[in-house]
Structure formats: structure tokens, C-alpha cells
Amino acid sequence: MAESKIRDENYFQVTGWMLNRLNLKGTALLVYAIIYGFSQDGESRFTGSLQYLCDFTGATKPTVIKALKDLAEQGYVLKT
């Protein structure tokens, strides 16, 4: 198994509006919060790997892929 890219000082934050306004939960909530943390300034974007999201959420690749697809379909993330 590959070594995780998550460093001890890495973190992400789930905020109330992600729950209350977007109604996110589970893996989709965690994936969104991670991506949001990298892109909230409106200029930056998340360029991490699928494995990074798997490592941070503890989810499998198929689960993270489904979460990303659902977030894109809802218009919450944009894949470029």
C-alpha cells in the first residue's frame, strides 16, 4: 500500500452552511470541504489526487468518484 500524502499538520474544516444550505453529508461533505479549503479564494483550485481525497476521507476510490460526480451534478464543484 502506498504511503499517505496526508501530513500531520494537514486539516480541513466543515462549516455549518455546508450542512444547512447545501445539505451535504457523508463522503460528499468531506470531499466538498477539502476542495473548498483549497479554492475558497475564488482564484485557487484543488489540484490534489483522487488518492489524496481517499486518504483524507477514509473512503474507497469508487465512493470518492461517486461523491465528486454528485457534487458536479449539483453544481457545487466544477471539474476542469
Q: Most distant CA pair in the chain: distance in Å?
A: 37
Q: Is residue 1 predicted with pLDDT exceeding 70? A: no
Confidence of residue 21 (pLDDT cuts 50, 70, 90): very high
Lowest mean pLDDT among 1-10, 26-35, 39-48, 63-72: 1-10
